[in-house]
Amino acid sequence: MPQLKAKSLEMRTPQATKTAVLVIGGAEDKVHGREILRTFVSRSGASNAHITIIPSASREPSIIGGRYVRIFEEMGAKKVEILDIREREQCEDSYIQASLEGCTGVFLTGGDQLRLCGVLSDTPAMSIIRQRVRGGQLTLAGTSAGAAVMGHHMIAGGGSGESPNRSLVDMATGLGFIPEVIVDQHFHNRNRMVRLVSALAAHPDRLGIGIDEDTCAMFERDGWLQVLGKGSVTIVDPTEVTHTNEPHVGATEPLNLHNLRLHILSHGDRYHLYQRTVLPAVYRVSS
Positions marked catalytic: 144, 162, 186
Report d(CA 264, CA 253) in Å as an integer. Answer: 27
Spatial separation of the C-alpha atoms in residues 6 and 212, rounded to whole Å: 34
How many Cα atoms within 13 Å fall on the side-chain side of residue 16? 7
Our CA dihedral for 136, 228, 106, 113, rounded to 10 degrees, sits at 120
Q: Are strands 215-219 and 243-244 parallel, antiparallel or unpaired?
A: unpaired
- Which DSSP string do the residues of 124-172 spell out, in sequence order? HHHHHHHHHHHTT--EEEEETHHHHTTSSEEEEEE--SS---GGGEEEE
Q: How many Cβ atoms are within 10 Å of 80's Cβ, its own excluded?
A: 23
- The amino acid occupying position 104 is T
Q: Give the single-character DSSP code of 30.
A: S
